[in-house]
Amino acid sequence: MKRDRDTTDFRGVAARYRERSDGCIFCDVDSSRVVAANELMVAIKDAYPVTEGHSLLLPRRHVASPNALYQPVINEMWALAANVRGELLAADETITGFNFGSNDGASAGQTVMHAHLHIIPRRDGDAERPRGGVRGVIPERQAY
């Protein structure tokens, strides 16, 4: 482009997509756990589900924080989230809502230091007072 002054060097970016971390349980997911995938993300069922159908979306590249994801990965994450959400709705007519969430850092509750997005199906009556949703991470702040 004329007068493009951007000097960003993107030559190393392709190699970064192949980064994995030894010992990371999300870098080495058994293919039998994968329920959906695209080029940059995989979806698995949560090993410790909050509700039936609770799924995790994992970037194939090892990165600890969701804020370190490249924009193409974010785009693929939300495309896969829509796919997983649609499949869950089609398979279970009792689902009436969803919580989507991510824990970023140990103080936020992250236990596996590989970025991931939780998709938690919700059903009418599954919580006494669901208002406030993700605000419930600090229970006394959920109601407002």
Backbone angles phi, psi at 97, to 5 degrees: -175, 180
Instruction: State which H helix or E strand residue 74 sits in.
Output: helix 71-91
Tell me if 83 sits within 8 A of 91, measured CB to CB.
Answer: no
The continuous run of DSSP H or E covering 57 comes out as strand 55-59
Q: Is residue 9 part of a domain?
A: no
Residue 113 lies in a domain: yes
| Dihedral, CA of residue 97, residue 85, residue 89 and residue 56, to nearest 10 | -90
- Whether 2 is in a domain gets the answer no
Residues paired with 58 in a beta bridge:
42
* 135 or 101, greater pLDDT: 101
Whether 24 is covered by a domain: the verdict is yes
> Which range among 6-20, 45-59, 74-88 shows the weakest confidence by mean pLDDT?
6-20
* Total domains in the fold of the chain: 1
Domain of 48 in residue numbering reads as 14-126
Which range, of 5-9, 47-51, 75-79, averages the lowest pLDDT? 5-9
pLDDT 10s digits, 93-117: 999 999 999 999 999 999 999 999 9
Q: Residue 45: inside a domain, yes or no?
A: yes
The CATH number assigned to the domain holding 61 equals 3.30.428.10
CB of 103 closer than 8 Å to CB of 110: yes
Kindly write down the DSSP assignment for every residue of 80-129, as one continuous string.
Answer: HHHHHHHHHHHH-TT--EEEEE---SGGGT--SSS--EEEEEE-TTSSS-
5 is a domain residue: no
Local confidence band at 128 (pLDDT 50, 70, 90 cut-offs): confident
CA distance 87 to 22: 32
Helix H or strand E encompassing 76: helix 71-91
